Structure 1
Amino acid sequence: MSDTSGWGPQPGPYGWHPNPWGPPPPPPPKPGVIPLAPLGVDHVLGGTFATMRRYAKPLFGTAGAAYALLAAVMTAALLLAYAATRDHFHALYEPGATFSWEHGRPLLLAFGAVWATGLLASLAVNSFIQAACAATLHEAVLGRPAPFRAVWRRAWSRTPAVTGVTLLLALILLLPLAAFTLLFVSFFVTVLTDSTAPFGLVFLLFLLVLPLAAWLYVLFAFAPAAAVLESAGPLTALRRSARLVRGAWWRTFGISLLAGVIVAIVSLAFRLPLQFAAPQPPEVTPDTDTSELLFDQLRSQFGLYALLGLVGTLLTQLLATLFLPLVTALLYIDRRIRKEGLAHTLTAATQQPAPPSAHR
């Protein structure tokens, strides 16, 4: 895959301005999935769908392999936790057993370690997929091939930087997240004590903090793309994102929100038919045999309907995981074109021969 060092900050403005005293200018070049000019909403969304269609192998291949690796890690962690606490597990769940910390503490520690492993592994996998989206888009914009191996190698090398961006952004959003958590805690306190004062105060705080969280999230939305396409470190990527979003916050927010709505509509379009086709729960009567009831419930949970639901959930999750980072990365490129004249650099790059790695 080609070096991304040429995607660093570029001097000078850029735009496609018609000449009022002469013939209309030629259309901007379009070597890949987008024209090399300031992008409209149709170009951003169309370029995203075109990238997913033309570069399905590197995108869906890397994402599928990453999720398969995540599933293997979680399965191994669960098996190890069960093997280490098997005796304690059976001691708690054998007939007539009562809870005791002698057996409960090892179970909590073991499966708490599984939860922490899953959290860290999910963070790494999601960061890797974001890096793979940006690495694939780098070649898609130039109209070059993006081999699976090259995308994997480039994404893997930038995964630590994207992970650092994600962790820093989580720290920045810690106050809004704390307010959101406090809102739920106060809701349960309100339900248990029949007092509305704590919930009302926290809800007001949440309404005040929510716009701040949205503003910060959009302000640093371009940081993962900058970490990959400019080979920037986490702090540098966050600063780059803030500079690029400045002056276009509402546009970035609106198009990102539209992309989220598209993903939600696609998800609902698949889930609603399954909801109507869901099997009816077995009818329970005083004479119903318990084993027969459990068998019917298992059959409904693990039958064809459950398989279709699982496949649909995985596909919609995969779509959201790829679609949203691609939209954000294209918005990043659009801002670079508008503010820094990146289109000139991209046009020059298309006139150079592709590196040997792009043909493998």
Structure 2
Amino acid sequence: MSDSNESLTSGSSAWNWGNSEAPTGGYGQFNTGSWQNPAGTPQTGDPAGGATFPSPAPVPPQPASASPTGYPNPNGAPQPGGAQFGAAQPNPYFDQYALNFQQVQPGIIPLRPLNLGEIFNGTFSAMRQAPAVMFGLILSIWAVFAVFSGILTALAFPDLTVTEQQLNNTTDGTVFLKLFSEIMQGSIISMIPSAFIQLIASGVTTGIAVTAIAPMVLGRRLSVTETWQETKPHLPLMIGYAFLYSFISLAIYAFAFSPLLMLIPGVTNEDFGMVFASMGLTLLTMFGALFIWAFIYVRLLFVYPAMVMENLGLKKAMARSWKLAKGSFWRLFGIMLLALVLQNVILTGLSFVVQLITGGVTAATLATGTSNYGLIMGITMALSSLIAGVFIPFFSGIQSLLYIDVRMRREGLALSLLRAAQQD
């Protein structure tokens, strides 16, 4: 839809939830009293299409046990302003004193601002409810990319095996350092094609996960075919953004370690003052780069959801994400940091499995009298790529639900979602 006043409908544009401005009458904030209209005046900025809420006629105070909506009035007195919301015009979602919000949850999350537990629970619920998409389709794509990545790594630099054998047989320190340097350079170069493949896989599968999660907020579930059809129009921009963000990250990393360039002339000229200055400056730039990365990461957190749910281009999606995340840095950063900690805990166990497999391959090749360094690297790269795909549904779910949460808090999106849910 083009703005927040249009209803959410099914079909190809079902999840274009629009770019609405923050309402002026407190709508979208589910705190005490924010949904009542005690003065009986029309509300401006109502995201429900400018609808006004008339003030019902005053009614006598009700005792706690006689509340017409089933919610007690703890004070036994009428709400200030004289308007007892729900008395003359009962509302099935709010009590007459607007003190208790009756949870409306047609899908994986309640239609109100979310807390931390509800964001994570909604993400896991999405993964459970749509395993064919969240695991079957996404992991299948990552498996294909992982195989290609492993083959390219194994075949791109076959001379690594020879170099590695020479390294094991030498006792000359100078030759050892030279061969070790060649192996490190070859390993880094061999990762370049795999990195490109992973970026493509990341853009594609993140888009798929966001597309699948969006309708589950309203209790609707897309099939694998429907999810793919909804995702296809956005794939070029998503892949482009994956590459753009990686270049931004590389620029930040380059800034972080740029003072290390001073080490070369410092060591060559035995200038230890320059060496220590290089190390000190590197620590400072690393801290600065970490802050810059975290800030940019949070401000661009909603690019993928904005592309899918609002049908925005790359530039507009980045601007939209930058605006939505403004003022919520620490909350968003804390939640994503917690998600990263959980990922690392799981990744530790999965990495142990990878080490067992590569260790077995290494032992098998050594048993034949030779070692195939390229093959070992290829298997390691393939398994690492596949493991990276496991976390795509989890992180995409957190991103998507945080995006919806921010919009419910700031733009009253909950009302539009509620109307869409009632249409089913």
TM-score exceeds 0.5: yes
Q: Structure 2 CA distance, aligned partners of 1:274 and 1:336? A: 40
Q: Structure 2 CA distance, aligned partners of 1:220 and 1:129? A: 18
Q: Which residue pairs with 2:294 in the alignment?
A: 214
Q: Which residue pairs with 1:253 in the alignment?
A: 333
From 352, 367, 370, the counterpart of 1:294 = 367
Q: Is the 8 A contact 1:59 1:133 kept in 2?
A: yes
Q: Structure 2 CA distance, aligned partners of 1:136 and 1:294? A: 47
Pairwise CA distance, 1:312: 8.1
1:322 maps to 2:393 = yes
Q: Which residue pairs with 1:44 in the alignment?
A: 119
Percent identity over paired residues: 25
From 105, 108, 115, the counterpart of 1:33 = 108
Pairwise CA distance, 1:27: 2.0
Q: Which residue pairs with 2:19 in the alignment?
A: 9
Residues 239-248 or 121-130, more deviating: 121-130
Pairwise CA distance, 1:185: 5.3
With over 3 angstroms needed to count, the CA separation of the structure-2 counterparts of 1:255 and 1:152, relative to structure 1, is: same
Using CA pairs under 8 Å that are at least 6 residues apart, name the structure with larger relative contact order, 1 or 2: 1
Q: Structure 2 CA distance, aligned partners of 1:2 and 1:129? A: 19
Q: Which residue pairs with 2:254 in the alignment?
A: 178
SS of equivalent to 1:213:
helix
**Can you list the C-alpha shifts for 1:32-87, whole angstroms capped at 9, x where unaligned?**
111010010001111111111111111112212211332454477679979xxx9x
Q: Is the 8 A contact 1:132 1:152 kept in 2?
A: yes
SS of equivalent to 2:105:
coil
Write the letter of the residue equivalent to 2:30. Answer: W
Q: Which residue pairs with 1:55 in the alignment?
A: 130
Q: Structure 2 CA distance, aligned partners of 1:215 and 1:189? A: 34
With over 3 angstroms needed to count, the CA separation of the structure-2 counterparts of 1:310 and 1:114, relative to structure 1, is: closer
Write the letter of the residue equivalent to 2:409. Answer: R
With over 3 angstroms needed to count, the CA separation of the structure-2 counterparts of 1:63 and 1:186, relative to structure 1, is: farther
Q: Which residue pairs with 1:263 in the alignment?
A: 343
Write the letter of the residue equivalent to 1:336. Answer: R
Mark the runs of 5 or more structure 1 residues left unpaired by the alignment.
Answer: 94-110, 284-290, 354-360
Write the letter of the residue equivalent to 1:18. Answer: T
Q: Is the 8 A contact 1:263 1:319 kept in 2?
A: no
Name the one with the larger helix percent. 1
**Can you list the C-alpha shifts for 1:284-334, whole angstroms capped at 9, x where unaligned?**
xxxxxxx99534997xxx9xxxx9x99985674333222112111111111
1:350 maps to 2:360 = no
How many residues were matched structurally? 318
RMSD over aligned CA atoms reads: 4.2
Q: Is the 8 A contact 1:165 1:235 kept in 2?
A: no
With over 3 angstroms needed to count, the CA separation of the structure-2 counterparts of 1:187 and 1:260, relative to structure 1, is: farther
With over 3 angstroms needed to count, the CA separation of the structure-2 counterparts of 1:273 and 1:125, relative to structure 1, is: closer
With over 3 angstroms needed to count, the CA separation of the structure-2 counterparts of 1:333 and 1:184, relative to structure 1, is: farther
From 191, 205, 211, the counterpart of 1:135 = 211
1:124 maps to 2:200 = yes
Pairwise CA distance, 1:112: 11
Q: Is the 8 A contact 2:145 2:201 kept in 1?
A: yes
Q: Structure 2 CA distance, aligned partners of 1:61 and 1:315? A: 12
Residues 10-19 or 237-246, more deviating: 10-19
Pairwise CA distance, 1:335: 0.4
1:240 maps to 2:316 = no
**Can you list the C-alpha shifts for 1:145-191, whole angstroms capped at 9, x where unaligned?**
22001112222221212223334434544542212343665667777
Q: Which residue pairs with 2:239 in the alignment?
A: 163
Write the letter of the residue equivalent to 1:347. Answer: L
Q: Structure 1 CA distance, aligned partners of 2:398 and 2:131? A: 16
Q: Is the 8 A contact 2:299 2:321 kept in 1?
A: yes
Q: Structure 2 CA distance, aligned partners of 1:170 and 1:66? A: 20
1:148 maps to 2:148 = no
Q: Structure 1 CA distance, aligned partners of 2:260 and 2:229? A: 42
Q: Which structure has the bigger radius of gyration?
A: 2
Residues 205-214 or 171-180, more deviating: 171-180
Write the letter of the residue equivalent to 1:15. Answer: Q
Q: How does 1:70-81 map to 2 (within 5 A)?
A: 70-71=145-146, 73-74=148-149
Q: Structure 2 CA distance, aligned partners of 1:38 and 1:337? A: 6
Pairwise CA distance, 1:261: 0.4
Residues 2-11 or 142-151, more deviating: 2-11
Q: Which residue pairs with 2:60 in the alignment?
A: none
TM-score, length-scaled by structure 2: 0.63
Residues 162-171 or 268-277, more deviating: 268-277
TM-score, length-scaled by structure 1: 0.73
Q: Structure 1 CA distance, aligned partners of 2:337 and 2:356? A: 28
Mark the runs of 5 or more structure 2 residues left unpaired by the alignment.
Answer: 1-10, 34-72, 74-78, 80-96, 164-186
1:18 maps to 2:32 = yes
Q: Structure 2 CA distance, aligned partners of 1:143 and 1:162? A: 26
SS of equivalent to 1:62:
helix
From 193, 196, 215, the counterpart of 2:276 = 196
Q: How does 1:304-319 map to 2 (within 5 A)?
A: 316-319=387-390
Pairwise CA distance, 1:210: 2.3
Q: Structure 2 CA distance, aligned partners of 1:276 and 1:65? A: 23
Pairwise CA distance, 1:240: 0.6
Q: Structure 2 CA distance, aligned partners of 1:79 and 1:208? A: 37
